[in-house]
Structure 1
Amino acid sequence: MGPTDLSRFWEGTIEQLKKTEMRASVDESPEQCGREFKTYQVAMDSFQGRRIRAWYSVPNDPPPNGQFPAVLAVPGYGGTKPIPTHLVLNGFIVLTLYPRGQGESIKEWQLESGTKLTYHLEDKDEFYYRGAYMDCIRGLDFLGSHPEVDPQRLGMWSRSQGGGFTLATASLDSRLKVAVAEEPFLCNYPVSVDITSSPYCELR
């Protein structure tokens, strides 16, 4: 697949996502709240109709203009990620999102076989990360749908697999203004297979 075909593939994938209604549910989760912020459990429909989950954390005191900067955070390959409360305590809304089959989203759907890295590896339409990348973009859709979020100050920060998600999301969606990818996974597969035991060994 050449660069032009690759661009068309992802443009078509994003168009498919846009045709899926979000149908988000947002319910306060007292056990995840802090003294200075509230956290809500979110469930929403994403690419291919998969339902995914997230935590939506909002500081109690809004800025003068009523809109907060917001950060999308996603997990490493292990699939779990605590809410980065240090960001919330510093005035950021944070959406801690679990792409399909990971973390909280396991309650909605799990891989039928294989691993995230190998699931439908030879089928570009069904490969796990095609849908997972769209789940991240759906997270931006969710943030953009809330009036308390400043759409001009959307960022993403994560590490390992989450760093790979961050790079992919930034390349596919211009709404993301800042991207911080720590030790990004899903980069330079040939070298990674040679120098890393896990999880790239799943590709051998």
Structure 2
Amino acid sequence: MPLTDLPLDQLRAYRPEVAEPEDFDDFWAKTLAAARAAESGPAEYRRIADAPLTGVEVYDARFPGWAGQPVAAWLILPRGARGPLPVVVNYIGYSGGRGLYIEHLLWSAAGYATLVVDSRGQGHDTPDPHQETSPQYVGGFMTRGLDDPANHYYRRLMTDCVRAVDAMRGHPAVDPDRVVAAGASQGGGLALAVAALAPEKVAAALVDVPFLCHFRRGAELATTGPYPEIAHYLGVHRRTDPDAVFAVLNYFDGLHFAPRATAPALFSVGLMDPICPPSTVFAAYHRYAGAQKDIRVWHFADHGGGRASQPYEQLLWLRGRGLAADG
């Protein structure tokens, strides 16, 4: 697979200017305030008594998300660990959900609590009652609600992700000062958004090969994955003004979240990534406001990035930030 974007020296200098919505902060402040006001009750955790695992305790969780609607998650705690524990709130890649709890044991093996957040409408356990059926919908989630940022799918999903952090900070097994937002691809973009929308609640962000960054360049360069949904939509609706479409997407772009995030952050990028072009990742990384930030560059990697090597890097990096589970 060839390089998909700029050479590394140009990527390290790539700092595009993308105008942000004037009401960006007000839009998100009102969105999150409405979600918190709609909360009908606390998060619920049902222990999976017959989980065939000896090293962890598993809970089928539901916490209030967008409009107070219940969002499914797995809470996985290392068995016998003395709390309060640091927690990794893990967000999932595009078109996936929380899956099976047995798929998410790495962080508990390292001594962390883990919350694996289902993605509304993408997983099997959290429906999206507000699913758009308007002409803006074209084969995926990127174009759901393109008529108005208030209607867009990612307004709901990103709200769910912030509310997951709210839920974890109130759990008795968790140290509220050691909440880590983490994910790869879509999950990486969501972790970046959460770090910006709840900066006082997130102690660190693990932003792995992030999607949802620099939408316009992604739509122009990506050859597979979700970004081409935007190009396909604009190709079909030829009379639609592209600037109007990207003006809506700007409310959900990691380029605008990054300057508002201050927690220590570890990014990663694959230079042969056809799904999230490396320039989209570097554009967000360069704008990230946290003083303690770093990026792992995987030169001969596609969208898998560092694969199993990246979690190893993340564990060492968290230890260096004083966020190890035994710290």
TM-score if structure 2 supplies the norm length?
0.58
Verify: 1:151 aligned to 2:161, yes or no.
no
Distance 1:194 1:108, change over 3 A: closer
User: How much is the aligned-residue C-alpha RMSD, in angstroms?
Assistant: 2.1
Deviation by residue 1:159-187 (Cα, 9 ceiling, x = unmatched)? 00000001100011020111011110001
Distance 1:22 1:144, change over 3 A: farther
Whether the aligned pair in 2 keeps the contact of 1:158 and 1:166 (CA below 8 Å) is yes
What is aligned with 2:31? 13
Distance in 2 separating the partners of 1:158 and 1:188: 18
What is aligned with 1:101? 121
Counterpart of 1:77 in structure 2: which amino acid? Y
| 1:181 maps to which of 204, 207, 228 | 207
| 2:227 maps to which of 180, 196, 200 | 200
Whether the aligned pair in 2 keeps the contact of 1:100 and 1:109 (CA below 8 Å) is no
Whether the aligned pair in 2 keeps the contact of 1:50 and 1:109 (CA below 8 Å) is no
Distance 1:100 1:160, change over 3 A: same
Q: Secondary structure at 1:125's aligned position in 2?
A: helix
Q: Secondary structure at 2:80's aligned position in 1?
A: coil
Distance 1:149 1:85, change over 3 A: same
Counterpart of 2:221 in structure 1: which amino acid? I
Whether the aligned pair in 2 keeps the contact of 1:193 and 1:203 (CA below 8 Å) is yes
What is aligned with 2:112? 92
Unpaired segments of 5 or more residues in structure 2?
1-18, 232-327
My pick for the range that moved more, 4-13 or 169-178, is 4-13
Distance 1:3 1:195, change over 3 A: closer
Q: Which has the larger radius of gyration?
A: 2
What is aligned with 1:135? 160
Distance 1:162 1:31, change over 3 A: farther
Unpaired segments of 5 or more residues in structure 1?
none
- Give the aligned length: 202
My pick for the range that moved more, 191-200 or 133-142, is 191-200
Deviation by residue 1:71-106 (Cα, 9 ceiling, x = unmatched)? 100110022345420100111000000132121434
Distance in 1 separating the partners of 2:130 and 2:57: 29
Residue 62 (structure 1) shift = 2.3
Counterpart of 2:110 in structure 1: which amino acid? N
Distance in 1 separating the partners of 2:116 and 2:55: 17
Counterpart of 1:79 in structure 2: which amino acid? G
What is aligned with 2:274? none
Residue 122 (structure 1) shift = 2.0
My pick for the range that moved more, 31-40 or 147-156, is 31-40
Question: What fraction of aligned residue pairs are identical, expressed as a percent?
Answer: 29
Q: Which runs of 4+ in 1 moved over 6 A?
A: none
What is aligned with 1:118? 143
Distance 1:178 1:33, change over 3 A: farther
TM-score if structure 1 supplies the norm length?
0.90
